[in-house]
Structure 1
Amino acid sequence: MADLVAPVRVSPLIKFSRWSLLLLGVSYGAIRYSSLSKKENANREIEAKQKAIRDVKLAQEKERLAKEELAELARAAGVEPLP
């Protein structure tokens, strides 16, 4: 088998820099996540309010289209559509 060479000793400055940047990245991510989650929660509240309005409009539109379809079917069948 080939003889393995001993690993190179890493400078303490490099080790410190790596760990510092890792911790800095983790803390940045936590702060950024907190900021974005607050914004998203505000957007969800707004969308929930708009959803109620949108659902009412969609229900009205669906009812109107159903009445039009029934009237069209009645005309196609030769029956007088109900008012």
Structure 2
Amino acid sequence: MSAPPHPNAVVLPAPIQVSPLIRFGRWAALGLGIVWGAVRLQQIKHYHADIREWEHEKAVAQAAKDAETKKWLAKDEMRYLMKVVNIPFEEGVAQFGVEDLYREE
């Protein structure tokens, strides 16, 4: 003999019967949403890959520009130091070991 249900037990009504056409429509919508999401993800990946490539090219160009600026500043600093110490330019270049700064490219 079964025990009576607990007084706090929730008694659910029988589930509603849903039309097979409606069920098919729901599953079809879910499938189409997944396919559309996958296609959209590929589009966004390609778009952002182009953006990352452009940003990388821009960063490389900026790094080259910064290196050139740093070289010019180092040249000016060495010239100023040689002037302050009162050393001739050729002798100062040899003495400070900065021949590579003044080598023509």
Runs of 4+ in 1 over 6 A off after TM superposition: none
Higher helix share: 1
Consecutive unaligned residues of structure 1, counting only runs of 5 or more, are 65-80
CA root-mean-square deviation = 2.8
- Greater relative contact order (Cα 8 A, min sep 6): structure 1 or 2? 2
Larger Rg: 2
Given the two structures, how large is their TM-score scaled by the length of structure 2?
Answer: 0.53
- CA deviation string 1:31-79 (max 9, x = no partner): 0111111111111111111111122344537x85xxxxxxxxxxxxxxx
Residue aligning to 1:8: 16
Aligned mates of 2:13, 2:53 — CA distance in 1: 61
Give the number of aligned pairs. 71
1:49 aligns with 2:23: no
Consecutive unaligned residues of structure 2, counting only runs of 5 or more, are 1-6, 74-79, 84-105
Given the two structures, how large is their TM-score scaled by the length of structure 1?
Answer: 0.64
Percent of matched pairs sharing the same residue: 35
